[in-house]
A and B are shown apart, each in its own frame.
Chain A
Amino acid sequence: MSETVTIRLTVNGTAVERDVQPRLNLVDFLRDDLGLTGTHWSCEHGACGACTVRVDGNIVRGCLIFAVQLGGANVETIEGLAESGALAELQAAFHARNAVQCGFCTAGMLLTADALLRRDPDPRRETIRAALSANYCRCTGYHAIVDAVADAARERTKRP
């Protein structure tokens, strides 16, 4: 096996230092090395969106970036963002609209929807659908998720 590299980065506001093999992707690093299992992996080739996390403020596919590349980076996952309240309206709307069935895709959906609402606070329904096309859900048929994001957009306008 290849040798390890020491990386120092910030994950959900906490400084982290670990030795990693170069082949270790960010999702496996978060789940296996840091115990942050809210980020899921599924397709491992960038199609499904289950592994969506934020790196330096922008959403990325966690399966398409290696932990070794993230020295100095600021990584935010569903755990940190949920705790901060940044996703509160989306979480409440997903609950109210039954936009969660098995829940496997939900963390990725929330991060993708949040990125949309930060860019476009009042999206049209087609815009929501286009943004969510980046994330697969195999249970809900998507309509409830689109409804939830539309509701959350309205709720967010009430933010102080």
Chain B
Amino acid sequence: MKAPPFRYARPRTLEAALKLLAAGGDGARLLAGGQSLVPALNMRLLEPTMLIDINGVDELNGISESRSGIRVGALTRQAMLGASDIVARRAPLLTTAVPFIAHEAIRNRGTFGGSLAQADPAAELPACVVALDAQLEIAGPRGRRRVASRDFFKGVYETALARDEILVAAEIPAQRGATLFLELARRQGDYAIAGLAGWAALQQGRIAEARLVFFGTDIRAIDAKAAAAALATSVEAAIAALDHDLKPVADFNASAAMKRHLAGALLRRACATVMARAA
């Protein structure tokens, strides 16, 4: 099908975009990469009265390095994120995850911030920013605020963003350990049935500290703290501890029990991989 009619605005500044968003009321939607929004329009799942195209807002774009890590503008294309030397050096988890996002033609258009604001529970980037303890910078009519990534994702397509706010950038501290990233999908480029994004710091061939964020299993990316703590005992103890962390939700791909099983399998595989690399 075709998108329903809408009015179109293309602001050049964040300030102008915020004004349009405030004035547009419930009928206004932001258009960034459009790789989730436009399918929803074409399928008439959404009928906004106005699209505010932020692709011309340069201040939302780009990757820069800071003393503590990196800053990634919300409008940065997923392809740019995947190709960035700065990202590969300071947050290699993102570099590893990007090729799993859909396909090249979609990554060329889809944005980093769009994926976060969309908050699909099976998407890669929300899980990555949780694993990396990113701070998300948000602009709104009441000024700027920062939200920790662990507090940003609320549920399926639900975030801490208010209707009149725009995600500006993520401040991402330099990654501390070796990358853990695994994803199970039926086909290359599909959303994950279950995925694991995180890192592990090794000492004397053992995992001393780890972050384990699961996606595609629950209603949002889940920081599996109990499992990460249990890794000090054993990998099998960590897999058992996932019962405390996850509340898997069935979807058309897999039952809740299947997702719980796959999460354990991914954790076992990730630990084996990272230990083998260290050996």
Contacts and interface: CB of A to CB of B under 8 A. Distances in A.
Interface of A: 1-3, 5, 21-23, 25, 28, 44-46, 49, 52, 58-61, 63-66, 68-69, 112, 115-116, 119, 129-131, 133-134
B35 interface: yes
Nearest to A1: B5
A129 B7 CA distance: 40
Nearest to B41: A23
Given A44-B1, A69-B53, A134 B8 contact: no
A49 B79 CA distance: 17
B106 A133 contact: no
B3 to A, nearest CB: 5
Contacts of A115: 104-105
Contact of B3 (A25, A49, A52, A58): A25
A21 B5 contact: yes
Contact of A45 (B31, B42, B105, B108): B42
Given A23-B2, A58-B79, A63 B42 contact: yes
Contact of A61 (B10, B31, B106): B106
Interface string B1-19: 1111111101000000000
Contact of A131 (B3, B7, B104): B104
Interface residues of B, number: 30
B188 A64 contact: no
- 3 A-B pairs with the lowest CB-CB distances in the bound complex, closest first: A134-B103, A22-B8, A45-B39
A65 B104 contact: no
11 contacts: A22-B8, A23-B2, A25-B2, A44-B39, A45-B43, A46-B35, A64-B34, A64-B38, A65-B34, A65-B38, A112-B103
B38 A46 contact: yes
Given A44-B42, A46-B39, A59-B104, A23 B79 contact: no
Nearest to A62: B105
Given A45-B39, A59-B108, A65-B109, A2 B7 contact: yes
B109 A61 contact: yes
B266 interface: no
Given A45-B39, A64-B39, 18 more contacts: A2-B5, A22-B8, A23-B5, A25-B3, A25-B38, A45-B43, A49-B105, A60-B105, A63-B42, A64-B38, A66-B38, A112-B105, A129-B188, A130-B188, A131-B104, A133-B103, A134-B104, A134-B106
Contacts of A133: 103, 187-189
B109 A64 contact: yes
A27 B109 CA distance: 16
B187 A112 contact: no
Given A46-B39, A59-B105, A133-B103, A23 B7 contact: no
A21 B51 CA distance: 13
Nearest to A71: B10
B96 interface: no
Contacts of A46: 35, 38-39, 102, 106
Contacts of A45: 38-39, 42-43
B159 interface: no
B216 to A, nearest CB: 18
